[in-house]
Chains A and B, each alone.
Chain A
Amino acid sequence: MAELVVPPSGESVPFRFDAVVVGAGPAGSAAALALARAGRSVALVERGPFPGSKNVYGGVVYGRVLDPIVPRWWEEVPVERWVVRRSTMVVTGSQSLSVDYRTQTWGDAPYNGMTTLRARFDRWLADKAVEAGATLVTSTVATGLRRDARGRVAGVVTDRPDGELAASVVVACDGVNSFLAKEAGLLPRTAPEHLTLGVKEVLDLPPATIDERFGVGRTEGVDMEVLGGTGGIAGGGFLYTNTASVSVGAVLSLPQLAASGTRPEAVIAELKAHPTIEPLLRGGRLREYSAHLIPEGGYDTMPPLAADGLLVAGDAAALTLAAGIWLEGVNFAIASGWAAGQAAARALASGDCSAAGLASYRADLEGQFVLADHKRFRAAPGLVLSDRVQNRYPEMLCDLVEQLFTVANPEPKPGGWQVLRRTAARHGIPLRQLAADALRAARIFG
């Protein structure tokens, strides 16, 4: 990895690059790669000792976004397992109802989703930027924005001695807490209502045990999402297979977690103890415990994506998609970072790095999945995190299926409508409410 040499103390001239990218996560590395490929000098500043060291994700990286960036990426990407089974599970304390989909198509190139370890994946993508000519500067915090005489962003201040980096454009990919976007006035200092806390345990298990328990081959993996198992706190559980470990965790509404007084690890413990989940994890030894915030507010909570001399991408731009059955983030980070890097390169070429000069970034994102998906599912967070979807429907659904499949001889089988009416009534949900929510869901997802 290229390292920045800090000028001797007393040197007043800052290092100058065409662009500075802050954060060597997937967004930042994609941005730096785009800038380097365009022939621009670019510094990629990472506060951790290596890219990925501060990062946590919750299940699947969808790789097709890499097609135009790294041809045949699947032959070299540090994958744990290719996801061939996707299971969405609705649970109560003692019941579970799963929709389990499997296809071997996802186990062949170009694949669909992969599980990975961010310490490896993020490093791999950062190395691509370095190979293209970007200067990776690790163990360095960008502590603030540097401004020119006219108040435009003109680089960053770092926590290295004399570590000011001058640049015509800064791409802030500094994550969910983005202090740079906050300093620029693009993000509020706090907005817990738009955030969830992800907590995760990685449990070591022998690869052969994982293959057997999940019914997959050595390179194949499973991703499971769980609704209803988070102790009444809005959010969801997740479980996915790595090569020699299983990751299990929960994503929790921050205000509801705070109000509940429940400790986050207690939610994971309860999830792990569920009768459907416990046998999958039995004997797993804790390898690592981690936590990270997730910006789940969606389209309506996104900051402006550009200011004079500044672009924002990835989690810093709240680009995590949490739309019920679609939970994606790394692909949105890569696509937005790549687009930001390209837009910055165009602005540099035209000599106009003002917000107007950088406006092609947003237009690019609107023309592809990044903003199209977010716009389409903008109302999803409200519905998905509602009390009915989180708590009452899981219980009602499980009861409904239990009624259908319980053979209560000598009682004759009840009709489907009768079971629905009875179950809804028992859970205090009027049928017109059910119909209204179904219509709402159809409008959001249809």
Chain B
Amino acid sequence: MSADPSVARPLRAPVRSRHGGAVYPAQSFEERMAAVEFRVGTRPHITVDAAVCRSCTTKACVSACPADLFAPTADGGILFNYEQCFECGTCYQVCNGAGAITWTYPDGGHGVVFHHG
């Protein structure tokens, strides 16, 4: 399955603390990611074998990826976007189906550039 940068991400709801007090304004995930510099390479450094994903019961990558790069598809597969990746490795570490996600570093000089890490 190829990378799809157009995976839609919903606007997050305003955050309310458990005691019902402070509320933070809604911040879209796009706004959050716009604060991060990415020098996007041409080679996708993540590949996903959607055939394995279709038999995966957890799809943990979808919720655990801090960059929200993975989205389930109607047919039970996974759509992903490699372009705004933090290169943390969470996706392949939590991947339930052996070999569904292959993950390498982006080519030298590409990928995320943290300035306040």
Contacts and interface: CB of A to CB of B under 8 A. Distances in A.
B60 interface: yes
Given A118-B114, A278-B22, A287-B116, A139 B109 contact: yes
Contact of A293 (B33, B67, B68, B93): B93
A191 B89 CA distance: 11
B6 to A, nearest CB: 20
B20 to A, nearest CB: 9
A253 to B, nearest CB: 11
A402 interface: no
Interface string B102-117: 0011111101111111
B17 A275 contact: yes
Contact of B22 (A56, A199, A266, A275): A275
Interface string A54-70: 11110000000000000
Chain B interface secondary structure, helix, strand, loop or mixed? Answer: loop
Given A141-B107, A159-B107, A117 B116 contact: yes
A274 B35 contact: no
B13 to A, nearest CB: 10
A272 B17 CA distance: 9
Contacts of B39: 49
B67 A262 contact: no
Contacts of B107: 141, 159
Interface string A250-286: 0000110111111111100110111100100000001
A53 interface: yes
Interface in B1-31: 12, 15-19, 21-24, 27, 29, 31
A55 B117 contact: yes
Contacts of B36: 288-290
A93 B90 contact: no
A52 B114 CA distance: 7
Contact of A197 (B17, B64, B105, B115): B64
A273 B23 contact: yes
List the 7 closest pairs (A to B, CB-CB), nearest first: A139-B109, A93-B18, A273-B17, A291-B66, A258-B60, A94-B19, A56-B117
Given A53-B113, A288-B116, 19 more contacts: A47-B109, A94-B19, A117-B117, A119-B116, A159-B108, A177-B89, A190-B93, A258-B64, A258-B94, A263-B63, A270-B18, A273-B23, A275-B17, A275-B22, A278-B21, A288-B114, A290-B114, A291-B86, A293-B93
